[in-house]
């Protein structure tokens, strides 16, 4: 059971993700763009994992990750990027910014949920 | 699945790639694995196809393409009703327009990837939703170096009309461009996941 | 990564973000705008020239009975009956073809026969770039069916109000709607479109005052100005006009119309007038009748007052002279003698002027003027004005009647209640009149006087009492005027300042005595004789033979007065000689007793059996 921050400007997609994650007994926090995502991280809420889109208004996904990584209490939070983009340049940019996992849309629960469990367990173990 | 019809060149290639993306993403987004795509011819008088229109722009590598989807909210409500379990009339309006934005986002994104893999690098705009009437203000259909395609995505919930307007500058920039219809994906191929 | 590339990537990202931001904002504002249009309370539509809907709002969808998103499948023709659609389509074609940029019309959405609404449509050519989809028409439709229904109700009410309600525009032209009664009042069925002056003011123009004519003629001058302009002229506008009615004769030939004005103000300035007309013919006629009645009542009163005011000598003159004139006129009329008639009229006029009988004088003057003013040609038929002379005779008859009543042998103040002649009346009846007269006289000569009466229940015949009261009055007035001293003189003589007058009536079985006493300075017989001598009332010889009492009783001789100027009060035409004569005619005697410095007492004595 993890606290997962879902960042995406598409209501539908957030709905889809949240539904799947809640069914897997996770707690979901939603943000509708990069700026909103930063605000959520600035709060004291427990956030074990961040799943974010890349192309968003206000602040794009990678820029948001860079900002979050500067925060002391969030620097270690694992980040999954869920996007339509698949280019190598962007993957490299993401990796450099601190993105751990790159997922190409559409969202496949069968693949993503196990990955979440694995990453969360890893973090708990230290 | 003859090999002649699975390989395209020039602007036809771009169109084919886009249409392929539309079918693929449409099936996913509109929750209909048996989505049918059929071409239609549209008269200028029928330019306003439906009450709503969403659009997205791809640009780069000498081309500019405007993708439009013309739809009625009934289809979206029924899809969303299935997803959320609510009644169609209870679905909020912004969810509906969001669905169509997301569809074009996926189609555009998929097309961008396919074109990129085939050597044509394009950028993607934000998808926008507006009224079908605004189609009236589109550029005239008689522009030079511009190709048009119209098609309809037929699902169990209803139909969505789409159009693609492709402008080449210079006119010959796509002459060497080729694209091959990729093998059909399985569900397992969806959502490839990479640990970076 | 190299720093420049990083920077470029960053910049491109920022540019992208910025343009995304703008796009999002534009999308939102566009959506808001669409919502406004969707929710307009009027019908909004953009369609092809053939009526195919390309855009529409919720109101239009309601008319079609479909959802907002279902409008693209619709054609406007399905909202109208074929005949109505033909009209509408014609206008659409004109606008789409560019014949006119905008057109308006009112048509009902009458496809189904129930719930038909009339809309006021405005059609305009769509002026955006339509990228080859053919000319488009923008259509606005406002529901005016309720307004029209109210207008119909209003005009129904209009036609039942018995007032003429009409409106004129800034050119004073009558514009609809107007109440049906207008045509009844103005006797004109085709008032609409005519000028107000022609329809309302012209028929009665002659009767208007010059000021009214000026203002009514210049009514257009207030148009276009604020309301105060109307306030300035409103008091001079004709409120009651008379229009000759050719279909009637006599008094009915004139019709009266009451007018009420109200300025119609639009955008702060006057751009028309509302007029309310009322048929006041009946009212005016009744008013005129009442006025005539009042006038005749007033003339009756005036005549009475004038006649009553006449002094007896004048009365006599009036009676004899005018009676003679009237007889003369009768003769000159019969003899067809215009000249003689004129002379007689002149005479009547003169006498009535002297007597101050205004009505008689005016009638005579009027008749005289009319007859004098006849042109030579008309003189032959002068008799047609006989009516004027008849009027004079009527007036004279009225005067004579009053004269006769006044001359009756009863006290003037008793004209109202007259007991039958021969009946006995208590002397006490005289008291109030005597007291009143004494009071007035005393006031006039500034003396303080008291009168007390003891009537002793004496009764005398009514005719006697009348004459007697005149005598007593004269004696009393004399006493107040001449007999009593002024207050100061009385006080220095040791008397009370107020003079005392006493009337004492006594009846014994042998006679009736009425005494009038004063406590004045008494009568100086020597002075009386001297004055009588000076006046030639007695000769020197006679004077030598008189006793003191005889001298005192000289005051009963005619022509006598102790004052040089006849006193206003007691010299009223009957001297004490007349009193003596009157008493004698009643069968009585009068005597007096006086004492210098103490007072005088007159005694009237009647022996039983007389009067």
pLDDT digits 0-9 by tens, C239-249: 988 887 777 77
Which of the listed residues C373, C407, C441 is the one where a domain comes to its end? C407
Whether residues C367 and C298 fall in one domain: yes
C155-162: long-range contacts (C-beta < 8 A, 24 or more apart)? C162/C279
pLDDT at C566 over 70: no
pLDDT at C569 over 50: no
- Measured between alpha carbons, how far is C273 from C266 in angstroms, rounded to an integer? 11
Chains in contact with A, where contact requires at least 3 CB pairs less than 8 Å apart: B, C
* Residue C13 near chain A (CB below 8 Å): yes
Whether residues C128 and C170 fall in one domain: no
Whether residues C448 and C559 fall in one domain: yes
Whether residues C258 and C197 fall in one domain: yes
Number of domains in chain A: 1
Number of domains in chain C: 4
Quick one: which H or E segment has residue B151?
strand B146-155
pLDDT at B96 over 80: yes
Give the contacts of C154 (CB within 8 A, at least 6 positions apart): C177
Residue of B nearest to A93 (CA): B196
pLDDT at C185 over 70: yes
Average pLDDT of chain B? 87
> Measured between beta carbons, which residues in chain C are less than 8 angstroms from residue B48?
54-55, 72, 133
Tell me which of A33, A63, A64, A87 to substitute to probe the interface with C (most C C-beta atoms closer than 10 Å).
A63
The boundaries of the domain holding residue C135 are 39-143
Judge whether C137 lies within some domain.
Answer: yes
Question: In this predicted structure, what is the pLDDT of residue B142?
Answer: 67
Note the helical H segments in C39-163.
Answer: 58-64, 82-96, 145-160
Whether residues C52 and C138 fall in one domain: yes
The boundaries of the domain holding residue A36 are 3-125
Record: fold of B4-179 = Chemotaxis protein chec (3.40.1550)
CB contact under 8 A, B45 and C133: yes
- CB-based burial label for C544 (10 Å; 0-12, 13-18, 19+): exposed
Residue of C nearest to A93 (CA): C1
Whether residues C164 and C126 fall in one domain: no
Shortest Cα–Cα distance, C128 to chain B (Å): 8
* Residue B99 near chain A (CB below 8 Å): yes
Residue C611: cis peptide before it, omega within 30 degrees of 0: yes
Judge whether C17 lies within some domain.
Answer: no
Angle, helix C462-478 to helix C431-444, in steps of 10 degrees: 20
Quick one: which H or E segment has residue B63?
strand B63-71
The CATH code of the domain that includes C560 is 3.30.565.10
Nearest CA-CA partner of A116 in B188, B195, B28: B195
pLDDT digits 0-9 by tens, C76-126: 999 999 999 999 999 999 999 888 889 999 999 988 888 889 999 999 998
Q: Which of C27, C52, C131 faces B129 most closely, judged by CB atoms?
A: C27
Rounded percentage of chain C residues whose pLDDT exceeds 70: 92
pLDDT at C386 over 60: yes
pLDDT digits 0-9 by tens, C437-458: 888 888 888 888 999 998 888 8
pLDDT at C42 over 90: yes
Which DSSP letter does residue B47 get?
-
Confidence band (pLDDT; 50, 70, 90) for C420? low
CB contact under 8 A, A57 and C9: no
Residue C248 φ/ψ, nearest 5 degrees? -120, 165
Shortest Cα–Cα distance, C90 to chain B (Å): 20
For the segment C222-228, the average pLDDT, to the nearest whole number, is: 89
Whether residues C393 and C508 fall in one domain: no
Question: In this predicted structure, what is the pLDDT of residue B153?
Answer: 94
Shortest Cα–Cα distance, A37 to chain C (Å): 16
Name residue, tokens 């909202």: C79
Residue predicted with more confidence, C8 or C447: C447
CB contact under 8 A, C48 and B128: no
Half-sphere exposure of C186 (CA within 13 A, CB side): 28
* DSSP, residue by residue, C503-556: EEEEE-SSEEEEEEEE-SS---HHHHHHHHHHHTSS-HHHHHH--HHHHHGGGG
Shortest Cα–Cα distance, B154 to chain A (Å): 20
CB contact under 8 A, A12 and B110: no
Shortest Cα–Cα distance, A76 to chain C (Å): 23
- Measured between alpha carbons, how far is C171 from C158 in angstroms, rounded to an integer? 23
* Residue A93 near chain B (CB below 8 Å): no
For the segment B80-96, the average pLDDT, to the nearest whole number, is: 87
**C608, two tokens:** 């039983």
CB contact under 8 A, A58 and C17: yes
Shortest Cα–Cα distance, A97 to chain B (Å): 11
Judge whether C19 lies within some domain.
Answer: no
Which DSSP letter does residue A77 get?
-
Confidence band (pLDDT; 50, 70, 90) for C131? low
The CATH code of the domain that includes C271 is 3.30.450.20
Shortest Cα–Cα distance, C109 to chain B (Å): 24
Confidence band (pLDDT; 50, 70, 90) for C530? confident
**B62, two tokens:** 């000498």
> Measured between beta carbons, which residues in chain B are less than 8 angstroms from residue C33?
none
Whether residues C476 and C492 fall in one domain: yes
Quick one: which H or E segment has residue C346?
helix C338-355
Whether residues C448 and C546 fall in one domain: yes
pLDDT at C415 over 50: no
Q: Which positions 157-216 of C are in contact with B (Cβ < 8 Å)? A: none
Complex ipTM tops 0.90 = no
Confidence band (pLDDT; 50, 70, 90) for C537? confident
Question: In this predicted structure, what is the pLDDT of residue B1?
Answer: 42
Least confidently predicted of A2-11, B129-138, C40-49, C139-148: B129-138
**B160, two tokens:** 């969505």
Whether residues C487 and C602 fall in one domain: yes
pLDDT digits 0-9 by tens, B112-152: 988 988 888 898 888 999 999 888 887 666 678 888 899 99
pLDDT at A8 over 80: yes
For the segment C348-366, the average pLDDT, to the nearest whole number, is: 91
Which of the listed residues C124, C143, C162 is the one where a domain comes to its end? C143
- Measured between alpha carbons, how far is C218 from B93 in angstroms, rounded to an integer? 66
Judge whether C399 lies within some domain.
Answer: yes
Residue of B nearest to A83 (CA): B109
pLDDT at C1 over 70: no
- Residues C536, C558: contact at Cβ < 8 Å? no
Whether residues C364 and C464 fall in one domain: no
> Measured between beta carbons, which residues in chain C are less than 8 angstroms from residue A93?
9
Chains in contact with C, where contact requires at least 3 CB pairs less than 8 Å apart: A, B
Nearest CA-CA partner of B109 in A55, C17, A63, A15: A55
Angle, helix A88-97 to helix A61-69, in steps of 10 degrees: 20
Whether residues C162 and C233 fall in one domain: yes
CB contact under 8 A, C54 and B45: no
* Residue C49 near chain B (CB below 8 Å): no
């Amino acid at each position: 059971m993890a606290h997962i921050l879902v960042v995406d400007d598409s209501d539908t997609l957030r709905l889809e993700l949240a539904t799947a994650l809640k069914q897997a007994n996770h707690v979901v926090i939603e943000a509708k763009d990069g700026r909103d995502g930063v605000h959520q991280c600035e709060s004291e809420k427990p956030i074990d994992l961040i799943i974010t889109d890349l192309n968003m208004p206000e602040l794009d996904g990678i820029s948001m990750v860079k900002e979050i990584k500067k925060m002391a209490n969030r620097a270690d939070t694992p980040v999954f990027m869920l996007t339509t983009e698949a280019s190598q340049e962007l993957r490299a940019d993401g990796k450099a910014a601190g993105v751990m996992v790159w997922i190409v849309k559409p969202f496949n629960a069968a693949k993503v949920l196990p990955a979440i469990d694995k990453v969360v367990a890893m973090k708990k173990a230290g | 699945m003859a090999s002649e019809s699975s390989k395209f060149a020039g602007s036809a290639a771009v169109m084919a790639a886009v249409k392929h993306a539309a079918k693929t993403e449409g099936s996913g987004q509109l929750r209909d694995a048996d989505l049918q795509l059929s071409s239609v011819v549209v008269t200028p008088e029928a330019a306003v196809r439906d009450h709503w229109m969403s659009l997205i722009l791809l640009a780069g590598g000498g081309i500019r393409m405007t993708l439009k989807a013309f739809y009625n909210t009934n289809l979206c409500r029924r899809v969303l009703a299935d997803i959320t379990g609510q009644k169609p009339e209870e679905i909020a309006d912004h969810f509906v327009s969001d669905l169509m934005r997301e569809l074009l986002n996926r189609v555009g994104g998929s097309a961008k990837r396919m074109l990129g893999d085939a050597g044509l690098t394009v950028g993607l705009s934000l998808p926008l939703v507006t009224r079908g009437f605004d189609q009236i203000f589109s550029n005239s259909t008689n522009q030079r170096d511009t190709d048009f395609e119209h098609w309809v995505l037929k699902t169990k919930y209803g139909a969505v009309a789409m159009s693609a307007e492709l402008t080449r500058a210079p006119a010959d920039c796509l002459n060497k461009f080729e694209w091959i219809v990729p093998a059909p994906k399985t569900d397992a191929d969806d959502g490839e996941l990479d640990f970076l | 990564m190299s720093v420049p590339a990083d920077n470029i990537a960053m910049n491109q990202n920022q540019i992208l973000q910025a343009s995304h931001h703008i796009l999002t904002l534009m999308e939102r504002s566009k959506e808001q705008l669409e919502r406004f249009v969707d929710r307009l309370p009027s019908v909004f539509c953009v369609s092809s020239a053939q009526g195919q809907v390309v855009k529409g709002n919720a109101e239009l969808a309601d008319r079609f009975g479909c959802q907002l998103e279902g409008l693209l499948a619709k054609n406007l023709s399905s909202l109208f009956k074929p005949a109505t659609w033909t009209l509408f389509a014609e206008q659409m074609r004109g606008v789409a073809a560019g014949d006119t940029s905008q057109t308006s019309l009112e048509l009902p959405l009458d496809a189904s026969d129930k719930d038909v609404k009339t809309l006021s449509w405005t059609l305009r050519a769509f002026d955006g770039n339509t990228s080859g989809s053919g000319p488009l028409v923008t259509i606005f439709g406002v529901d005016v069916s309720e307004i029209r229904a109210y207008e119909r109700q209003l005009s129904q009410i209009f036609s039942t109000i018995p007032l003429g309600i009409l409106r004129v525009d800034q050119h004073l032209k009558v514009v609809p709607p107007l109440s049906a009664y207008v045509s009844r009042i103005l006797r004109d069925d085709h008032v609409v479109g005519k000028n107000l002056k022609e329809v309302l003011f012209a028929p009665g123009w002659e009767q208007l005052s010059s000021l009214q004519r000026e203002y009514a003629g210049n009514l257009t001058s207030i148009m276009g100005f604020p309301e105060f302009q109307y306030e300035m002229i409103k008091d001079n506008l004709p409120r009651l006009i008379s229009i000759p009615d050719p279909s009637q004769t006599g008094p009915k030939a004139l019709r009266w119309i009451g007018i009420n004005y109200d300025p119609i103000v639009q955008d702060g300035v006057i751009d028309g007038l509302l007029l309310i007309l009322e048929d006041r013919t009946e009212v005016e006629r009744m008013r005129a009748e009442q006025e005539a009645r009042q006038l005749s009542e007033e003339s009756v009163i005036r005549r009475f007052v004038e006649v009553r005011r006449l002094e007896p000598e004048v009365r006599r003159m009036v009676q004899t002279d005018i009676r003679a004139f009237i007889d003369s006129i009768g003769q000159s009329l019969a003899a067809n003698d215009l000249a003689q008639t004129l002379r007689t009229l002149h005479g009547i006029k003169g006498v009535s002027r002297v007597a101050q009988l205004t009505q008689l004088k005016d009638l005579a003057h009027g008749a005289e003027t009319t007859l004098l003013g006849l042109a030579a040609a008309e003189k032959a038929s002068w008799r047609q004005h006989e009516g004027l002379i008849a009027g004079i005779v009527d007036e004279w008859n009225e005067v004579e009647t009053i004269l006769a009543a006044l001359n009756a042998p009863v006290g003037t103040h008793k004209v109202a209640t007259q007991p039958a002649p021969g009946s006995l009346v208590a002397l006490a009846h005289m008291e109030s009149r005597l007291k009143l007269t004494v009071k007035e006289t005393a006031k006039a000569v500034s003396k303080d006087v008291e009168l007390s009466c003891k009537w002793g229940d004496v009764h005398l015949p009514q005719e006697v009492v009348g004459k007697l009261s005149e005598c007593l009055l004269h004696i009393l007035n004399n006493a107040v005027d001449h007999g009593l001293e002024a207050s100061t003189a009385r006080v220095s003589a040791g008397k009370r300042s107020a003079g005392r007058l006493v009337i004492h009536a006594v009846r014994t079985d042998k006679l009736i005595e009425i005494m009038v006493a004063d406590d004045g300075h008494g009568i100086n017989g020597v002075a009386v004789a001297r004055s009588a001598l000076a006046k030639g009332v007695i000769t020197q010889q006679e004077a030598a033979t008189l006793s003191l009492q005889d001298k005192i009783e000289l005051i009963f001789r005619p022509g006598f007065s102790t004052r040089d100027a006849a006193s206003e009060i007691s010299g009223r035409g009957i001297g004490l000689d007349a009193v003596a004569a009157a008493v004698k005619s009643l069968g009585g005697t009068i005597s007096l007793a006086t004492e210098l410095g103490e007072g005088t007492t007159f005694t009237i004595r009647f022996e039983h059996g007389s009067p």
